[in-house]
């Protein structure tokens, strides 16, 4: 289960440097996946075999004092709601400020683990100065320097141990987990209500799930899965969802938790950059995806045919276009059962295990038809392929010169895999390994 860590703190305490230091170590790993765009505010970290996500909540802050208080309050609320551990960063040079006290006050009230990190401690005097932060009432702190990295290791050890305490309470049966994601106002709640209907007795909200998103056990019409709903959650914090950043972050937890995501797009507006961002988040987390174009009942069919609309969507989603797209209306319930069938199909595609013999039979022929181009007069020979035992489909191609296989050729292999086996709606990873 992916853990999520949120970093909060005033501007200029060094959150971004800290964030970059933790996520850069993964750069090599990240770039191996095709077409991954790096996001400034959301990244993956691996430490001692634990992988977790980190969110820098200081996404889009406008630097003027009166908005400050409000902004930091929003960030802290977001962090408290969306993460498993909150890292609160302060700056030894400026000492405790009023804003720090405000944040500490909010964090002392919550049940989640909070890790106090004192940044810019890069000499002995500063180590001594850091002790004023006991005054925040958050217990012990970790002194470190994001710039040169000293102290980061101890802090990460502590962070990872906090997850372990949490992990003990989580074991769940293998039922598909489906999330409804999308920008604000695309109709997520309407879709959830249309699916769940008023038959609340069929739906059993599970109490005591360690996640705060609402899980509904959905079992009717021969379906049985958990619906992970983030839409109905947002009354308590009243975090204004005016910022793109927040609504994308809202989706992060739902996506990490789900097996398949229904990505809702508003037919009356068309596909926007933020829809594409959420799509890439799903892809980067290697989850299944079905694109649902909602409010199709409101579109003037003369001007926009489904075919055209679908083409537009695919252009924006490239290169991963092997994705089911369905036109629905949550209000009139048009095609929402079809949507569920597609979601379950994608869930099954994501579980597919191809026997090694079948895989090699098909792929060797594909490789013979189109050999990888030679590089510097060297010929690349791919000898063998196998599916890796991962959650989401990944394949290792063993060859003599893995470093010379270009992105374009990997894409060819991926397209052929999609052509011969059904991976619709599922991101695939391809690795070249040394024989």
Strand arrangement, sheet containing 429-434: 382-387, 394-399, 429-434
Q: What is the pLDDT of residue 87?
A: 93
Q: For residue 405, list its beta bridge partners.
A: none
Q: What is the pLDDT of residue 265?
A: 94
Quickly count: other Cβ atoms within 10 Å of residue 63's Cβ.
9
User: Is the preceding peptide bond at 319 cis, omega within 30 degrees of 0?
Assistant: yes
Q: What is the pLDDT of residue 366?
A: 92
Q: For residue 334, list its beta bridge partners.
A: 329
Q: For residue 218, list its beta bridge partners.
A: 225
Task: Give Cα separations from 131 to 54, 124, 126 (angstroms).
Answer: 26, 12, 9
d(CA 76, CA 107): 8
Helix (H) or strand (E) holding 5, with range, is: strand 3-8
Q: Which two tokens stand for residue 152?
A: 């980061």
- Find out whether 111 and 139 touch, Cβ atoms under 8 Å: no
Q: Which two tokens stand for residue 392?
A: 């989401």
Query: Per residue of the chain (435 residues), what is the pLDDT tens digit?
Result: 568 898 888 877 888 888 888 887 544 333 333 333 345 577 888 888 788 888 887 654 455 555 667 777 877 887 887 788 999 999 999 899 888 998 999 898 888 899 999 999 988 888 888 989 999 989 899 999 988 888 888 999 999 888 866 554 444 557 888 999 988 788 887 887 787 764 433 334 443 333 334 566 666 667 777 777 654 444 433 444 445 566 666 678 788 888 999 999 999 998 988 899 889 889 988 999 999 999 998 887 776 688 889 999 999 998 899 999 999 998 888 898 899 999 999 999 999 999 999 999 999 999 999 888 888 888 888 899 999 988 889 999 999 988 888 889 999 999 999 999 999 999 999 999 887
Handedness of CA 406, 413, 280, 318 (dihedral sign): positive
């Amino acid at each position: 289960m992916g853990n999520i860590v949120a970093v909060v703190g005033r501007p200029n305490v060094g959150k971004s440097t800290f964030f970059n230091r933790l996520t850069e170590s993964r750069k090599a790993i990240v770039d191996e996946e095709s077409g991954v765009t790096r996001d400034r505010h959301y990244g993956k970290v691996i430490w001692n075999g634990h992988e977790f996500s980190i969110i820098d909540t200081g996404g889009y802050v406008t630097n003027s004092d009166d908005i400050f208080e409000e902004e930091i309050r929003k960030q802290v609320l977001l962090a408290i709601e969306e993460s498993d551990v909150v890292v609160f960063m302060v700056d030894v040079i400026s000492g405790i400020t009023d804003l720090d006290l405000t944040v500490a006050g909010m964090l002392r009230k919550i049940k989640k683990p909070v890790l106090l990190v004192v940044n810019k401690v890069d000499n002995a005097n500063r180590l001594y100065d850091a002790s004023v932060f006991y005054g925040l009432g958050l217990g012990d702190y970790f002194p470190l320097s994001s710039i040169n990295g000293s102290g980061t290791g101890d802090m990460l050890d502590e962070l990872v141990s906090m997850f372990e305490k949490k992990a003990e309470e989580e074991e769940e049966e293998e039922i598909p987990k489906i999330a409804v994601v999308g920008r604000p106002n695309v109709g997520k709640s309407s879709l959830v209500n249309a699916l769940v209907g008023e038959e609340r007795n069929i739906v059993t909200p599970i109490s005591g799930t360690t996640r705060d998103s609402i899980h509904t056990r959905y079992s009717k019409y021969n379906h049985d899965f958990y619906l992970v709903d983030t839409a109905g959650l947002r009354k308590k914090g009243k975090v204004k969802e005016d910022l793109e950043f927040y609504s994308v972050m809202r989706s992060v937890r739902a996506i990490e938790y789900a097996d398949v995501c229904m990505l809702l797009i508003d037919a009356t507006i068309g596909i926007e950059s933020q829809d594409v961002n959420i799509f890439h988040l799903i892809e980067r987390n290697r989850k299944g995806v079905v694109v649902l174009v909602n409010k199709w009942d409101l579109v003037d069919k003369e001007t926009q045919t489904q075919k055209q609309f679908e083409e537009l969507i695919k252009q924006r989603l490239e290169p991963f276009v092997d994705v089911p797209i369905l036109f629905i209306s949550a209000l009139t319930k048009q095609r929402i059962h079809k949507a569920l069938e597609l979601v379950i199909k994608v869930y099954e595609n994501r579980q597919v295990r191809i026997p090694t013999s079948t895989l090699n039979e098909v792929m060797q022929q594909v490789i013979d038809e189109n050999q990888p181009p030679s590089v510097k007069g060297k010929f690349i020979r791919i000898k063998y392929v196998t599916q890796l035992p991962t959650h989401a489909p990944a394949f290792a191609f063993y060859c003599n010169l893995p470093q010379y296989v270009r992105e374009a050729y990997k894409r060819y292999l991926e397209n052929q895999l999609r052509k011969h086996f059904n991976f619709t709606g599922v991101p695939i990873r391809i690795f070249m390994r040394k024989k």
